[in-house]
Amino acid sequence: MKILLVEDEPLLVDNLTQRFKALGFIIDTASDGEQGLYLALEYQYDLIILDLGLPKLPGLVILEKLRQVNFSTPVLILSARNSWQERVQGLKKGADDYLGKPFHFEELLARIETLFKRHLPKGDAICFSPKHIAGLDSVCLDTESKSLFINQQSQSLTLTEYRLAYAFFSRPQQVYSKQVLLDKISESTEEKESNIIEVYIRRLRSYLGKEAILTQRGQGYRLTLADDDLVPAKANGGE
């Protein structure tokens, strides 16, 4: 999971960053509201943790601006402003959850896991039944085991392969640019070699077939498995 932490308390930022990374999370940080809003709109995150009392741009203003552009990434407010009135205001502005400071890390983690599960596709697998690719009857991406099931045969994935596959499977009609895909598989916002995307696209094509991922010149890449299915099927256990 990739998290954006928008928080201006350095000690808290350092503590949370270390603890999240120890659990395998990818975490980017912003120390003021303007930087936080920029990162939220520029990069792809699974969750945003947002303080309210931020320099340059208050947290509620950030939240309003995000929701005004139909920003769907879940936002958890983490703030010392913890009266019931402030919690209600934050939720009404579009926050998905609200946790007051001081807090226990275990509770924060539990709330994050709940939000993440709430925004996953229903069921343990995202499945397609492509008719336009010879020899490919069914394909499922199991979000629990992080494996592909191709014609009922399991294909294990590396973490990077899974991140890339999940981007395609969760939004099969979307065309992804290289930069967006880089952001989804990278460990930070630092620029990475763009040819790494071609490497992992080739790997997924080696599992699924060349026709499964279309290169759209000047735009990026799109999954074609859903071209025969207007809506992907959802199944438990990759069945």
% of the chain beyond a pLDDT of 70: 89
pLDDT, mean of residues 126-131: 86
Q: In the predicted model, what is the mean pLDDT of residues 173-188?
A: 82
pLDDT tens digits, 87-124: 999 999 999 999 999 999 999 999 998 887 676 555 57
**Residue 177 predicted with pLDDT over 70:** yes
**pLDDT for res 189:** 46
Ranges assigned E (strand) in 2-119: 2-6, 26-30, 47-50, 75-79, 97-100
Q: What is the pLDDT of residue 113?
A: 83
* pLDDT over 50 (residue 184): yes
Domains and CATH numbers, the chain: 2-118 (3.40.50.2300), 125-235 (1.10.10.10)
Percent of the chain with pLDDT over 90: 51
Mean pLDDT of the chain: 86
Contact 51, 6 (CB under 8 A): yes
Better-predicted residue by pLDDT, 27 or 190: 27
Is residue 11 pLDDT above 70, yes or no? yes
Nearest to 50 by CA among 22, 19, 26, 81: 81
Q: pTM here?
A: 0.56
User: Which pLDDT belongs to residue 238?
Assistant: 37
Amino acid at 197: I
Give residues with Cβ within 8 angstroms of 15, minimum separation 6. none
Question: For residue 200, how many other CB atoms are within 10 A of its CB?
Answer: 17
Tell me the pLDDT tens digit for each residue of 41-74: 888 787 999 999 999 999 999 999 998 887 878 9
